A = this chain, B = another copy of it.
């Protein structure tokens, strides 16, 4: 493996901003849901913030991602607009998808958020198609497909990895291994010692990395993205992390190992990253506080925007089913 440059200060600040945005967004969204302001099922990415932040600082708006129901962190990191994301989750006409898709299907092509799927494993085959398009256009775009550890056991994932390897698609497969698929622990569903071990079966580089370590995650992501951009084909990254809020908001976590969870939460990547930035002198307290306050304001605005936005008109049921409106 070649030596990848560590992220410089600017990049670290950018990463931290994305991490904090995801973090605050999640806290606020959960409280908006708990207080009844917004009604939705919610799959919190709390604890997994660093992964897409480290990936996305290596991507441009032109690059594509495909993500999943637990994907609001991936979208935010990619730069999709907070307001429209909130409005979509709130089912408003002003949402990214006019309220028709909802949180599991947020789409925002302008920032490269091409597909969000609620079907386990289905982000990967479609990501291949985006990557094939880039080969055809020779546009040097990279596509990232996010998926979970549980998803690694479903057929579509395997088919997609093999095809990508055979076709040398410019795609990066990022498995966010948070230790659980719904209520099932990794050890009970996944036969791989580590998921990256499966890459060898596709002659694809595979790496397991601490997804909560910003520098390690950055390095792994950068290498994979560079490889894809240079036409050297796909990579499988297994980013180890933890799911702080259980599978779905309201989940009682009875099936989780208490000790495992306690330890993971004590090791919360968000304050850890913040402290490290300060300790390393990459940022000053005031600077971060200011950044965080701006994010808070952005989220305030998103919430207000959502609550003041209209619900979609029922005529929307006839639109976008086909290109031509139904009558």
A154 within 8 A of B: yes
Contact of A201 among B155, B156, B200 (CB under 8 A): B200
Instruction: Give the residues in chain B near A192, CB-CB below 8 Å.
Output: 162, 201-203
Nearest 5 CB-CB pairings of A with B:
A155-B155, A165-B191, A198-B201, A158-B158, A191-B202
Q: Which residues of B contact A156 (CB under 8 A)?
A: 155
Give the distance in Å from the alpha carbon of A40 to the alpha carbon of B233 in the complex. 43
CB-nearest residue of chain B to A193: B203
| Nearest opposing residue in chain B for A156, CB measure | B155
Residues of chain A at the chain B interface (Cβ within 8 Å):
153-159, 161-163, 165-166, 188-193, 197-198, 200-204
Q: A158-B158, A162-B192 are in contact. List 17 more A-B contacts (CB 8 A).
A: A153-B158, A153-B163, A154-B159, A155-B155, A155-B158, A157-B158, A161-B191, A162-B190, A166-B188, A191-B201, A191-B202, A191-B203, A191-B204, A192-B202, A197-B200, A197-B201, A200-B201
A to B CB contacts below 8 Å, 11 in the list: A153-B159, A158-B158, A161-B191, A162-B190, A166-B190, A191-B202, A191-B203, A191-B204, A192-B201, A197-B201, A198-B198
The one of B161, B191, B202 that contacts A162, using a Cβ cutoff of 8 Å:
B191
Chain B residue with the shortest CB-CB distance to A197 = B201
Integer count of this chain's copies in the complex: 2
CB distance from A296 to the nearest CB of B (A): 43
Contact of A154 (CB < 8 Å), options: B154, B155, B203, B204: B155
Q: In the assembled complex, how far is the CB of residue A299 from the closest CB belonging to chain B, in whole angstroms?
A: 40
The winner among A162, A166, A201, A203 for most chain B CB atoms within 10 A is A201
Report A268 CB to chain B, min CB distance, Å. 31
Task: List, in ascending order, chain B residues with CB within 8 A of A165's CB.
Answer: 191
Q: How far is the CA of A161 from the CA of B191 in the complex (A)?
A: 9
**Among candidates B154, B157, B162, B193, residue contacting A153 with C-beta atoms closer than 8 Å:** B162
What is the minimal beta-carbon distance from A40 to any residue of chain B, in angstroms?
Answer: 31
Query: In this complex, what residue of B is CB-closest to A165?
Result: B191
Nearest Cβ in chain B — how far from A50, in angstroms? 26
CB distance from A172 to the nearest CB of B (A): 16
**Looking across the interface, which residue of chain B has its beta carbon closest to that of A155?**
B155
Q: How far is the CB of A294 from chain B (nearest CB, A)?
A: 44
**In the bound complex, how far is the Cα of B206 from the Cα of A276, in angstroms?**
44
Given contacts A153-B159, A159-B153, A159-B154, contact A200 B200 (CB under 8 A): yes
Q: How far is the CA of A204 from the CA of B165 in the complex (A)?
A: 22
Q: What residue in chain B is nearest A201 (Cβ atoms)?
A: B198
Most buried by B among A154, A162, A163: A162
Closest to A198 in B: B201
Which of A166, A188, A189, A191: most chain B CB closer than 10 A? A191
Chain B residues whose C-beta falls within 8 Å of the C-beta of A204 in the assembled complex: 191
Contact status B193-A166, CB under 8 Å: no
What is the bound-complex CA distance between A191 and B168, given in angstroms? 10
Please, which residues of chain B bring their CB within 8 A of the CB of A203?
191-193
The docked-state distance in angstroms from the alpha carbon of A117 to that of B251 is: 41
Per the bound structure, the CA–CA distance linking A157 and B159 in Å amounts to 10
